[in-house]
Amino acid sequence: MSGGWNLKLDEVHHSAWQFDVFSKKECLEIIKYAKKQKSQKAITDDNTPNIRKYTDIYWLSQAQEINWVFEKITNVVLNLNEQFFKFNIFALNEPLQFTHYFKKGACYKKHVDRTYNRPVRKLSVSVQLTDSFAYEGCDLLLHNETTPTKCKKEIGSLTIFPSYTLHEVTELQQGERFALVTWVTGNSFQ
């Protein structure tokens, strides 16, 4: 049999990032705003024990006081998607998740952000809101290769990766870490 499909090379990157999406002052404003919201203990969708420990989350919906954060993230996501992923995306369809890792041992063990029978998450976004010297551990690791990729920790930086990527936040050793997480949705992968 001759011929076959005309296959193209896979040009989807494992991850991308951008520094200085938010200034240190803006990161502090986000933290201050988020802490005024109602917190809840972080759990997984299926309530699997010991996957998330010593972590509180705050859901930030679009509101006049915080729309500038959504706008900045949207602009960066659209640019990075065009450069590195080229996914068919259409929205930040869920609230922003402000995450507070507050106690030694705080972590989010290996997981993926895509789940069955939920909106189609195509890209996961993490924004570093804490100075890297303010804590130890609590590293965002992406498991695409034999050796995991350790994500950037500079305050105000944004990391983006496909939502089907296995990833984790390692255990916090000392200090506390704040991050902003969201997911970009689109039509089903085809």
Closest by alpha carbon to 21, among 78, 62, 59?
A: 78
Q: pLDDT value at position 185?
A: 94
Rounded Cα distance between 129 and 179, Å, is 5
Interatomic CA distance for residues 177 and 102, integer angstroms: 7
| Amino acid at site 21 | V
Instruction: Give per-residue pLDDT as tens, 94-128.
Output: 899 999 999 999 999 999 999 878 889 999 999 99
Strands 135-137 and 172-175: antiparallel
Q: What is the pLDDT of residue 189?
A: 83
10-residue mean pLDDT series, the chain (190 residues): 72 92 98 94 70 93 94 97 95 94 96 87 97 97 93 97 97 98 91
Domain boundaries, the chain: 16-185
Token reading at 173:
């050793």
pTM to 2 decimal places: 0.91
16-185 architecture in CATH?
Sandwich (2.60)
Helix H, strand E, coil C: the string for the chain is CCCCCCCCCCCCCCCEEECCCCCHHHHHHHHHHHHCCCEEECCCCCCCCCCEECEEEEEECCCCCCHHHHHHHHHHHHHHHHHHHCCCCCECCCCEEEEEECCCCCEEEEECCCCCCCCCEEEEEEEECCCHHHEEECCEEECCCCCCEECCCCCCCEEEEECCCCEEECCEEEECEEEEEEEEECCCCC
| 53 DSSP β-pair partners | 107
3-19 pLDDT, tens digit each: 677 777 777 899 999 99
How far are the Cα atoms of 118, 129, 154 from residue 23, in angstroms, in the given order? 33, 9, 10
Which pLDDT score is estimated for 108?
96
